A = this chain, B = another copy of it.
Amino acid sequence: MIGEFEIIRKFFAPLAGDASGAFGLLDDAAVIGENEFVMTKDLMVGGLHFLSDDPLDQVARKLLRVNLSDLAAKGAQPVGYFLGCVWPAKTKERDIDSFAKGLAADQELFRIRLYGGDTTRHVDVAAPLVLSATFFGKPPRQGIVRREGASLGDDLWVTGTIGDAGLGLAASAKPKSFPESALSHLIGRYRLPEPRLSLGGALPGLASAAIDVSDGLVADAGHIAKRAGLRAEIDVCAIPYSDAARAWLEKAANKDKAHARLATAGDDYEILFSAPTSRRRAVEMASKLTKTPVARIGTFVKGEGVALIGRDGEIEVSSAGFDHFARG
């Protein structure tokens, strides 16, 4: 069956028509009015985007954070959201209470409010929790940072660390394959991403293009490269890893495959952005001011696609591709 990107390209993008702020459905968010609001919508489905036994307060917080991450990557500041919930047939009141407590905690942290929504319940006992959030925020004065805009020679930067969430998902399924000391860090990174709103707020005027890493570093670098008509070359030695990911990498038999797995695992929710080489000092200053680690991991060259460059040349990615949905 046809995949998500193909469905959007073939069936839904034509429905955006000439609506200027919809960007042909090619970006992470849309602008409505005369740069009045930025809006983004993300779904989460039990068994697909979270595990059905993940604590519901953390599921709630993840729902908010994946949407906040989209706004962060566009340089926007969140204001509020609309929430849709389809509860499993057996949901108990205490489940909803736990979910609402998670929302409340993160609303406080990110200073956002719930503005409306809809809530209903499955009739089918097997059907999973389905969550939908539509966020709105204030765009930067000069307009949002788009996926398109990277130029030949631009640097590629990424915040935080890469691959933890993918390992965290694997660790949730098989905790014994990971050292006890790394478990809580990795699972925590899968369950509770950190939207990079402060650094995101510094991107307008600095970054030439930006996206949040949800599909995986390679796939999301590919989105920026495609919009620019360029090729992204990523130096694997420059990819920022956590101590836990580094320890896992040390033990891997095939290092190239291990790098490729971390670079293709999704759910990092870091910001990946391009910027002219002349802005290196400015990027580092923004990183310092917002207390957000950034790493310069690559560059845009002529060509297309994404190359992952290891010590011994380009690493084959396609066969090492790690599908974080493939858990049956």
Residues of chain A whose beta carbon lies under 8 Å from any beta carbon of chain B: 1-2, 4, 7-8, 11-12, 14-19, 21-22, 25, 29-30, 32-33, 36-37, 39-43, 45, 47-49, 79-80, 82-84, 86, 91-93, 96-97, 99-100, 103-104, 107, 113-124, 126-128, 130, 132, 134, 136, 328
Nearest CB of B to A167, in Å: 21
- 21 A-B pairs with CB atoms under 8 Å apart are A2-B96, A11-B99, A12-B117, A14-B100, A15-B107, A15-B114, A16-B115, A17-B107, A19-B113, A30-B115, A32-B80, A33-B37, A36-B36, A39-B116, A41-B84, A41-B117, A41-B132, A42-B118, A118-B132, A126-B126, A132-B132
Residues on B with beta carbons closer than 8 Å to the beta carbon of A96: 2, 7, 11
The chain B residue sitting closest to A48, CB to CB, is B123
Nearest CB of B to A21, in Å: 7
Residues on B with beta carbons closer than 8 Å to the beta carbon of A120: 4, 43, 45, 48-49
Known A37-B33, A127-B124: A100·B12 in contact at CB below 8 Å = yes
The chain B residue sitting closest to A113, CB to CB, is B19
Interchain CB contact (< 8 A) of A86 among B1, B21, B43:
B43
Interface of A is mostly: mixed
Chain B CB within 10 Å — which of A47, A92, A107, A113 has the most?
A113
The chain B residue sitting closest to A3, CB to CB, is B121
B116 pairs with A41, CB closer than 8 A: yes
Residues on B with beta carbons closer than 8 Å to the beta carbon of A19: 80, 113-115
Nearest CB of B to A91, in Å: 7
Nearest CB of B to A225, in Å: 22
Cα A7 to Cα B114 in complex, Å, equals: 14
Residues on B with beta carbons closer than 8 Å to the beta carbon of A128: 122, 124, 127
Cα A255 to Cα B277 in complex, Å, equals: 80
Nearest CB of B to A243, in Å: 33
Residues on B with beta carbons closer than 8 Å to the beta carbon of A49: 120
Cα A39 to Cα B48 in complex, Å, equals: 28
Interchain CB contact (< 8 A) of A113 among B15, B33, B45, B114:
B15
Known A48-B120, A124-B128: A84·B12 in contact at CB below 8 Å = no
B32 pairs with A91, CB closer than 8 A: no
Q: List 17 extra interface pairs beyond A48-B120, A122-B128, CB under 8 A.
A: A1-B93, A4-B119, A11-B96, A14-B100, A14-B104, A15-B113, A19-B115, A22-B116, A39-B115, A39-B116, A39-B134, A40-B116, A41-B116, A41-B134, A43-B84, A43-B119, A122-B127
Nearest CB of B to A223, in Å: 15
